Chains A and B, each alone.
Chain A
Amino acid sequence: MKEIWYRFSKNKLAMTGLLFISCFVLIALGAGWIAPFDPYALGTEMLGKPSIHHWLGTDQLGRDILSRIIYGARISLRVGVIAVGVALLIGATMGILAGYFGKWVDAIISRITDVLFSIPDILLALSIMAILGASTTNLMIAIGIVYTPIFARIARSAVLSIKSSLYIEAARSIGVGHIRIMLKHVLPNIMAPLIVQITLSFAFAILAEAALSFLGLGAEPDTPSWGTMLNEGKDWMESAWWIAVFPGLAITIAVLSFNILGDGLRDALDPKSNKH
């Protein structure tokens, strides 16, 4: 663990990513204290330019953009945590079962992941949203389902690489049950690739939430979600560029931070990939 942290802390880019993510989490959690205005409060100054009073300007309904971006971090974080949680829980379980039991269990699970992989993620998420209806909760479920197969694949291949290890065989030979082996011996040893994927999936989830809300099939209208703000802002591009530009910048910074962290974690957890 110490060695991993040492390798990670030497990577300046990854440390910057971690710093930004810490800020992002703090902003999301403390939105109520940090935001200068109520994100839903309608103001009298519509399409106001960035000023001392409203640092990032106001939108077409006079709402403060900075406050909405701050509250938007909360939505992105919530969608990220739950969507990635759903994907990890279902995907890793499927992957461990496939890798551990092999044979027909593997064949069925692998075909399911192949099929889900064949439908482009945005299209699959949109279809699920069309069936479930547009709401933030359904959005989290849809994104979670979309990113399930990637966790299944990663967990499966990680299990396959450790399946014939001595410690697993030893546990099996003294009669330890399958579930106990999977939880106590397999899971802790496949955590490294899963952790990297969790970080990268956070970036995907934020992007997917924004894209779906941008298309009007994500968070409810009026919600201060970064995607919804961008969607509303694009109609005012000519007269008020700030409504669309700042939420996009927020998405980019958040996604970039998770991508940098994911890259850094991969290098730290897998020293072999560190040679480049």
Chain B
Amino acid sequence: MLSYIVRRILVSIPVLFGISIVTFFMIRLVPGDTVTALLGTRYSEEQAIQLKAYYGLDKPLYIQYLIWIGNVLRGDLGRSSFSGDSVMQSIIERLPVTLELTLISVLIASLVGIPLGIWAAYRHNRLPDYMATVVGLLGISIPGFWLGTIFILLFALKLGWAPSSGYISFWENPLQNLHHMWMPGIALGAAVSAVVMRMTRSTMLEVLSEDYMKMARAKGMSPLRLLTRHALKNAMIPIITVLGIQIGYLIGGSVVIEQIFSLPGIGRLALQAITNRDYALMQGTILFVGFCFVVINLIVDILYSILNPKIRY
């Protein structure tokens, strides 16, 4: 097990290296020189000198990369050219919001998607199955940002069940926090619920047709026990994979949802960086999100091997 985990970590290193190269060279693709790209057209001589020293702009490109990656590895992602704040600090400040939003969405996806998928598979080719298929297709087709907009219109503006924007920290006031977060959570989680539901349904259908399931049924096992103890356990691996992949995408998907609901998370930070052409901040957030994605995939793969000891890399 340990050697598998070590090997799996080693495989992630080239990908992380690749992400750093992409984010590093992305800024070099911006038309014009790097100083103007990073600082805009109005900057002081002092700022330019600082920036040149930070990136080593007078040195060859590979040295510039090595200097930059050295800074990154020490946790220094540079400074925002717009606000002057430390990029790392800004990311850390906004991380809890995105984490909470992601967690709520995954929770909703699991609580809605898995039971619905099981139900659809159990009642295969009957009304619940057809309904689940339609709901699943609708779920993956409705744009999250439209759903969010409709939610605001319906639940915030018409019914007044939730505020249309803003954020209160969970530690400050848990109830107020959830009052603010349930709407964005559902808007972001709807598509994931649909993906999880579709995956649960198809893997459960496969598992339910296995011989050991027929045997368990023949022995008179109750449907609930049959589904939860035998079927779900064996269907869990693909479901966890999908959930894992979705967590990575949720961090990206939060860009739009955080913008609609004015939530101060990483997605909104990235969007601000992009709209302000704040390239240092853009580089930092993309690198951070890519890093999270790789780490989440790593955790999912390790979880795999725990769930199914037969899987080896």
Q: Which residues of chain A have C-beta atoms less than 8 A from B206's C-beta?
A: 276
Distance between B284 CB and nearest chain A CB, rounded to angstroms:
12
Q: Does B60 contact A (CB under 8 A)?
A: no
Q: Does A123 contact B (CB under 8 A)?
A: yes
Stretch at the interface among A46-54, A77-85, A92-100, A233-241: A233-241
Contact A237 B153 (CB under 8 A): yes
Contact A119 B289 (CB under 8 A): yes
CA distance A48 to B153 in the complex (A): 18
Q: Does B235 contact A (CB under 8 A)?
A: no
Whether A120 contacts B252 in the complex (CB less than 8 A), given A214-B145, A252-B143, comes out as yes
Distance between B28 CB and nearest chain A CB, rounded to angstroms:
10
Contact B256 A119 (CB under 8 A): no
Contact of B256 among A122, A256, A263 (CB under 8 A): A122
Give 1 or 0 for each of B234-265: 1 = CB within 8 Å of chain A CB.
Answer: 00000000000000110111011001100000
Q: Which residues of chain A have C-beta atoms less than 8 A from B226's C-beta?
A: none
Distance between B286 CB and nearest chain A CB, rounded to angstroms:
6
| CB nearest to A133 among chain B residues | B31
Q: Which residues of chain B have C-beta atoms less than 8 A from A207's C-beta?
A: 143
Q: Which residues of chain B have C-beta atoms less than 8 A from A121's C-beta?
A: 249, 252
Contact A120 B289 (CB under 8 A): yes
CA distance A111 to B13 in the complex (A): 11
Stretch at the interface among B18-26, B104-112, B177-185, B302-310: B18-26
Contact of B15 among A13, A114, A203, A260 (CB under 8 A): A114
| CB nearest to A120 among chain B residues | B252
CA distance A234 to B260 in the complex (A): 9
DSSP majority for the A interface?
helix
Stretch at the interface among A60-68, A171-179, A191-199, A243-251: A243-251
Whether A256 contacts B275 in the complex (CB less than 8 A), given A114-B15, A120-B289, A237-B157, comes out as no
Contact A115 B282 (CB under 8 A): no
Q: Does B216 contact A (CB under 8 A)?
A: no
Q: What is the count of residue pairs linking A and B with beta-carbon distances less than 8 angstroms? A: 130
Contact of B274 among A129, A237, A251, A259 (CB under 8 A): A129
Q: Does B95 contact A (CB under 8 A)?
A: no
Q: Which residues of chain B have C-beta atoms less than 8 A from A119's C-beta?
A: 19, 22, 252, 286, 289-290, 293
Contact A130 B146 (CB under 8 A): no
Q: Does B30 contact A (CB under 8 A)?
A: yes
Q: Does B150 contact A (CB under 8 A)?
A: yes
Q: Which residues of chain B have C-beta atoms less than 8 A from A263's C-beta?
A: 137
Contact B275 A217 (CB under 8 A): yes
Q: Does B277 contact A (CB under 8 A)?
A: yes
Q: Which residues of chain B have C-beta atoms less than 8 A from A123's C-beta?
A: 252, 255, 270, 285-286, 289
Give 1 or 0 for each of A99-141: 1 = CB within 8 Å of chain B CB.
Answer: 0000000000001101110111111101101110000000000
Give 1 or 0 for each of B197-241: 1 = CB within 8 Å of chain A CB.
Answer: 000001001100000000000000000000000000000000000
Whether A126 contacts B22 in the complex (CB less than 8 A), given A119-B293, A211-B145, comes out as no
Contact A122 B252 (CB under 8 A): yes
**Can you give 14 contacting A-B residue pairs, CB < 8 Å?**
A118-B19, A118-B248, A118-B294, A120-B249, A120-B252, A124-B286, A126-B270, A207-B143, A217-B274, A233-B149, A234-B260, A259-B137, A259-B141, A276-B206
